[in-house]
């Protein structure tokens, strides 16, 4: 089936365009695989359906397609384009803006503009990051979304919907740090995977793990292990149990585990140790950035994943793991 | 006349020094042209005269001359020096410090020190930025001024004058977002140009546009178009109308439009589209940095211009526009 | 004696390990010298003893040894390792975490983890910084410690001990800016040196100066001169006299003076001028970062030293001083 799809992408420009977009979706978790991307979209669609928020699915599709079209229009490198590298940031920008901002006609113009900008930011960051042979990961999404959300504080026609108001960090902010029961833990582990797309839904989490599995069994294994490890670390350090239960400590560590883990052929003990250290540090970095961004009233998004993965990828050429 | 001035700069060290400083002034809007620089100084002098604030004109001149002398003393590259590349940051540092800090004898020592430091910061940033063949723009000015203003919160002998006190961003901060009448719009467009030098004065705006015109008609056209587009975008997004009327949404977009636009020989449709996107994103980025710096009680200066122009210059080698 | 120690390090792996750790200690003030490192540890031990806080000495030793062992385990470059370049950041992380966080069993796990992470961050930053041939200085320590302290705001099992709570910067925060008497000034100058290791103790300051003297007389001279100059600048600008008396304005300038000054063979007048400018700018940058980090409730650590030293090292290849 994969073979006939590949043939179709060669003969039909329309199928090729769809394939490029699906790969863009898959690249959110670093998979250059159209089936993975399709399953991601199905998982998102399921969540949008059961939660009655079509806005979310629309934001995702608009962001993805606009970003891909912008990249084509700008005449970017064809190999990168076809791998979906110019779609995933726009997809995430579209999703984040349609979640954190109130829906109105201007919002959709804002989403279209942001998805287009994400391509320029991607090109700029790739140019800088290639100096050290590292990928830019979701940094273009994070930067673009932060600026567009922060900017909205000064715009009456664009309103923040679902963000806690700016406040100074406080050690008294933690409502409760209690152990979770078994069911809550299983849910939390699945939510950690689904929250990569801002979704707290166990079925979506399962679909996302399947989506990874069809592309790479190690990617799926690292994702699940990363989510579980993040929960264990957060519980040990006494993080807010509501946040743990909602999967909010897991989504960046999940991505870190996939990104670092799949750099290696096989998970040898030393590799597992290195990936685990990166995953644990992502939990701490996420808590840190939560504090750092609290006065600005914007979410950390996947910045902890980006920062820690860069820190752990940059030394790799010098190490023998 | 330009020819005889050029001969004078070769025969007289004093004229050459003046020429270097005038080019430094012109480089604030990226023009290596002594007449442009002279007209900028005249525009600033006019505003200082009518507003009765000679401090401003003194700060500009001290900053410009001290920076140029520091660069000569450090033995920097002669071609860059003669193009004014070591004057413009010091000039802006001198202007910003003398506007945002209360005048006293120590302030002038602070201005002299800051203008000198701007040359070191320029050399440092040029060394880093040349890795990707991009100009540092006004980044040395922004970094130096931010540090010196932020530091002053901890110094009793140096006092902040004209900066709103630190506060958390709030969506209720926008006093009013109302449409402006025609006269206010024309003024706002000219203020957007004059605010590059922290000045809200229509005649100064006209003098600045003339200053650009004598160097490059496209620079002047992009400056005016950037200012108008910034107003249109800010109105559409519902930004504070007082800020729009004062030209405060325009000065960074004006610089972005000049910097990106004049990278190309002719303003083909695709180029205009690219420049417009950069200009619009500068408006959003400026709003974002306004929010981000609010808790620190320092102004954004031209940081939005620097950030967005870098993002749009970095991809250029990979694109065919 | 130095010769027989050198022979011992060649014949005994245990002595070599100790030597590596002592050089790691010495590298906190940029000295690749085991005796300097030993004297630093003695100075720290003395302060921990008289202030009755063994936690501090334990944190330092644990951080230093764990970082060195992590570097060995990761198989880093042997020359850098033996120069102590993988020990000093871990040592400072161990010290900072054990000072700013409340002691409990989990803290020590946090210290061990942080010291290990500092090695990865070091490797990552070295990879980036070598593009411009500059050293990373204490940047890995600063980044790692900031993230781990900021993160602790969200962890109930790790508590901040000795940090002022988050607040917005205010010009009214300065308790008093009064001249210090002679004894206070001498103490402040010595405290400025000892505060490099978070210690306000004159005898420790003297031991640290001796430690520098056995490695490089210019390093010792620049350290003392940097501390004195920082006090003079802070008094002139009207900084808080309590902070000056406690040596808190001096520790970053001390490091800047050593780092820039010892780049040159001899302190010619132009070199002294350049080093003095860097030292003065470090005082201002420290005040600036104090304001910038106030809303986050974390200390500036040696970030001002790192930032200003980078700014003054980057231009050096282009200048003839």
CB contact (8 A) between residue A127 and residue B285 = no
User: From the list C124, C154, C167, which residue is nearest A174 (CB)?
Assistant: C154
Reading the block at residue A282, the tokens are 């992502």
Residue A175: band (very low, low, confident or very high) from pLDDT cuts 50, 70, 90: low
Question: What would the mean pLDDT of C85-105 be, rounded to a whole number?
Answer: 96
- Tens of pLDDT, residues B124-182: 999 999 999 999 999 999 999 999 999 999 999 998 987 889 999 987 666 677 788 88
Instruction: Please compute, for residue C261, the number of CA atoms within 13 A of its CA located in the half-sphere on the CB side.
Output: 27
CA distance A295 to chain C (A): 7
Beta bridge partners of A101: A160
CB contact (8 A) between residue A319 and residue C131 = no
CB contact (8 A) between residue B120 and residue C287 = no
Beta bridge partners of C236: none
Residues of chain C with a CB closer than 8 angstroms to some CB in chain A: 74-77, 106, 113, 116-117, 120-121, 123-125, 127-128, 131, 146-160, 165-168, 295-297
Question: What would the mean pLDDT of B248-263 be, rounded to a whole number?
Answer: 96
CA distance A259 to chain C (A): 16
Residue B90 has pLDDT above 70, yes or no: yes
Residue A139 has pLDDT above 80, yes or no: yes
Contacts of B among chains (3+ CB pairs under 8 A): A, C
Residue B48: band (very low, low, confident or very high) from pLDDT cuts 50, 70, 90: very high
Residues of chain A with a CB closer than 8 angstroms to some CB in chain B: 74-77, 106, 113, 116-117, 120-121, 123-125, 127-128, 131, 146-160, 165-168, 295-297
User: From the list B132, B239, B289, which residue is nearest A127 (CB)?
Assistant: B132
B70 closest CA partner among B118, B12, B135, B127: B118
Q: What is the DSSP string of B145-180?
A: HHHHHHHHTT-SSS-B-S-PPP----TT--------
Question: What would the mean pLDDT of B98-108 be, rounded to a whole number?
Answer: 93
User: From the list C240, C311, C320, which residue is nearest B124 (CB)?
Assistant: C311
Residue C2 has pLDDT above 80, yes or no: no
Torsion of Cα atoms, C79 then C84 then C89 then C92, to 10° = 180
Of the residues B102, B153, B158, the best mutation for testing chain C's interface (the one with the most C CB atoms within 10 Å of its CB) is B153
pTM for the predicted model, two decimal places: 0.96
CA distance C73 to chain A (A): 9
CB contact (8 A) between residue C116 and residue A277 = yes
Residue C179 has pLDDT above 90, yes or no: no
What is the per-residue pLDDT for B197? 94
Residue B214: band (very low, low, confident or very high) from pLDDT cuts 50, 70, 90: very high
Question: What would the mean pLDDT of A81-99 be, rounded to a whole number?
Answer: 97
What is the per-residue pLDDT for B172? 67
Residues of chain B with a CB closer than 8 angstroms to some CB in chain C: 74-77, 106, 113, 116-117, 120-121, 123-125, 127-128, 131, 146-160, 165-168, 295-297
Contacts of C among chains (3+ CB pairs under 8 A): A, B
CA–CA gap between residue C7 and residue C9 (Å, rounded): 5
Residue C178: band (very low, low, confident or very high) from pLDDT cuts 50, 70, 90: confident
Question: What would the mean pLDDT of A77-84 be, rounded to a whole number?
Answer: 96
Question: What would the mean pLDDT of B24-39 be, rounded to a whole number?
Answer: 97
Give the number of other Cβ atoms within 10 Å of residue A17's Cβ: 15
CB contact (8 A) between residue A150 and residue B287 = yes
CB contact (8 A) between residue A237 and residue C158 = yes
First-to-final CA distance of chain A: 37
CA–CA gap between residue C28 and residue C5 (Å, rounded): 21
Size of interface A-C (CB pairs under 8 A): 110
CB contact (8 A) between residue A319 and residue C113 = no
User: From the list B117, B127, B150, which residue is nearest C291 (CB)?
Assistant: B150
Residue C112: band (very low, low, confident or very high) from pLDDT cuts 50, 70, 90: very high
CB contact (8 A) between residue C76 and residue A295 = no
Beta bridge partners of C101: C160
Residue A160, classed as helix, strand or coil, is strand
CA distance C22 to chain B (A): 33
What is the per-residue pLDDT for A163? 80
Reading the block at residue A150, the tokens are 């922060």
What is the per-residue pLDDT for C173? 64
Question: What would the mean pLDDT of A230-255 be, rounded to a whole number?
Answer: 95
What is the per-residue pLDDT for B175? 64
CA–CA gap between residue A222 and residue A209 (Å, rounded): 10
Residue B250: band (very low, low, confident or very high) from pLDDT cuts 50, 70, 90: very high
Helices A217-237 and A251-261 meet at what angle, rounded to 10?
140
Nearest-by-CA chain B residue for C311: B124
What is the per-residue pLDDT for B173? 65
Question: What would the mean pLDDT of A17-35 be, rounded to a whole number?
Answer: 97
Higher pLDDT, A248 or B266: A248
Question: What would the mean pLDDT of A164-187 be, rounded to a whole number?
Answer: 83
CB contact (8 A) between residue B156 and residue C177 = yes
CA–CA gap between residue B243 and residue B182 (Å, rounded): 16
Q: Residue B298 to residues A112, B220, C83, C90, C237: CA-CA distances in angstroms? A: 32, 30, 42, 34, 19
CB contact (8 A) between residue A151 and residue B288 = yes
CB contact (8 A) between residue A154 and residue B240 = yes
CA distance B217 to chain A (A): 27
What is the per-residue pLDDT for A180? 85
- List, in sequence order, the alpha helices (H) in B198-320: 202-213, 217-237, 241-245, 251-261, 269-293, 303-313
Nearest-by-CA chain C residue for A130: C128
- Tens of pLDDT, residues C286-309: 999 999 999 999 999 999 999 999
Contacts of A among chains (3+ CB pairs under 8 A): B, C
User: From the list C151, C159, C296, which residue is nearest A287 (CB)?
Assistant: C151
Buried-exposed string B70-100: b where 16+ CB fall within 10 A, e elsewhere: bbeebebeeeebebbbbbbbbbbbbbbbbbb
Question: What would the mean pLDDT of C240-258 be, rounded to a whole number?
Answer: 95
Contacts of B168 in chain A (CB under 8 A): 165-168, 295, 297
CA distance C277 to chain A (A): 31
Q: What is the DSSP string of C236-250?
A: HHT--HHHHHTTTTT
C160 φ, ψ (degrees, to nearest 5): -70, 135
CB contact (8 A) between residue A156 and residue B169 = no
Residue A269 has pLDDT above 80, yes or no: yes
Work out the widest C-alpha separation in chain A, in whole angstroms: 61
CB contact (8 A) between residue A236 and residue C157 = yes
B268: exposed, middle or buried (Cβ count in 10 Å: 0-12, 13-18, 19+): exposed
Contacts of A290 in chain C (CB under 8 A): 154
Residue C95 has pLDDT above 70, yes or no: yes
CA distance A49 to chain C (A): 33
CA–CA gap between residue A202 and residue A246 (Å, rounded): 10
Q: What is the mean pLDDT of chain B?
A: 94
Contacts of A173 in chain C (CB under 8 A): 153-154
CA distance A226 to chain C (A): 18
CA–CA gap between residue B224 and residue B220 (Å, rounded): 6
Q: Which residue has the tokens 């994969």?
A: A2
Residue C174 has pLDDT above 80, yes or no: no
The ipTM assigned to this model is 0.96
Distance of CA C112 to the CA centre of its chain: 19
Q: Which residue has the tokens 């707290």?
A: A200
CB contact (8 A) between residue C106 and residue A285 = no
CA–CA gap between residue A199 and residue A190 (Å, rounded): 10
Residue A162 has pLDDT above 90, yes or no: no
Contacts of A281 in chain C (CB under 8 A): 113, 117, 147
CA distance C144 to chain B (A): 23
CA–CA gap between residue A16 and residue B253 (Å, rounded): 38
CB contact (8 A) between residue C168 and residue A168 = yes
Reading the block at residue C282, the tokens are 């470090």
Residue C30 has pLDDT above 70, yes or no: yes
Question: Left (φ > 0), alpha (ψ -120 to 50) or beta: where does B276 sit?
Answer: alpha
CA distance C16 to chain B (A): 38
Could you tell me the sign of the dihedral formed by the alpha carbons of A306, A307, A311, A314, in that order? positive
Residues of chain C with a CB closer than 8 angstroms to some CB in chain B: 131-132, 168-171, 173-174, 177, 236-240, 277, 280-281, 284-292, 295, 310-315, 317-321
What is the per-residue pLDDT for A236? 95
Contacts of A160 in chain B (CB under 8 A): 171
- Tens of pLDDT, residues C135-144: 999 999 999 9
Residue C154 has pLDDT above 80, yes or no: yes
CA distance B271 to chain A (A): 11
Size of interface B-C (CB pairs under 8 A): 110
Residue B321: band (very low, low, confident or very high) from pLDDT cuts 50, 70, 90: confident
CB contact (8 A) between residue A237 and residue C297 = no
CA triple A106-A112-A116, angle to 5 deg: 145
Question: What would the mean pLDDT of A202-214 be, rounded to a whole number?
Answer: 97
């Amino acid at each position: 089936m994969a073979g006939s799809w590949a043939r179709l992408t060669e003969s039909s420009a329309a199928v090729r365009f769809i394939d490029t977009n699906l790969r863009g979706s898959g690249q959110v978790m670093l998979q250059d695989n159209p089936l993975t991307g399709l399953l991601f979209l199905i998982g998102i669609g399921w969540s949008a359906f059961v939660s009655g928020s079509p806005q979310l699915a629309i934001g995702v599709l608009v962001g993805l397609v606009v970003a891909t079209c912008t990249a084509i229009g700008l005449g970017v490198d064809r190999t990168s384009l076809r791998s979906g590298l110019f779609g995933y940031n726009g997809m995430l920008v579209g999703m984040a803006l349609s979640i954190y901002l109130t829906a109105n006609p201007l919002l959709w113009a804002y989403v279209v503009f942001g998805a287009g900008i994400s391509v320029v930011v991607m090109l700029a960051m790739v140019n800088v990051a290639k100096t050290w042979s590292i990928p830019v990961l979701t940094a273009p999404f994070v930067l673009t979304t932060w600026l567009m959300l922060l900017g909205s504080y000064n715009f009456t026609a664009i309103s923040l919907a679902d963000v806690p108001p700016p406040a100074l960090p406080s050690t008294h902010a933690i409502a409760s740090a209690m152990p979770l029961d078994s069911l809550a833990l299983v849910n939390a582990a699945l939510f950690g995977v689904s929250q990569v797309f801002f979704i707290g839904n166990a079925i979506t989490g399962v679909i996302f793990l399947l989506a990874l599995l069809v592309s790479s069994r190690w990617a799926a294994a690292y994702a699940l292990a990363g989510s579980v490890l993040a929960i264990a670390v957060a519980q040990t350090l006494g993080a807010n149990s509501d946040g743990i239960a909602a999967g909010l400590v897991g989504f960046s560590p999940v991505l870190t585990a996939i990104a670092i883990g799949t750099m290696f052929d096989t998970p040898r003990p030393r590799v597992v140790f290195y990936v685990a250290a990166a995953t644990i540090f992502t939990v701490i970095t996420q808590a840190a950035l939560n504090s750092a961004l609290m006065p600005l009233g914007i979410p950390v998004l996947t910045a902890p994943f980006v920062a820690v993965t860069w820190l752990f990828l940059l030394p790799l050429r010098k190490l023998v793991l």
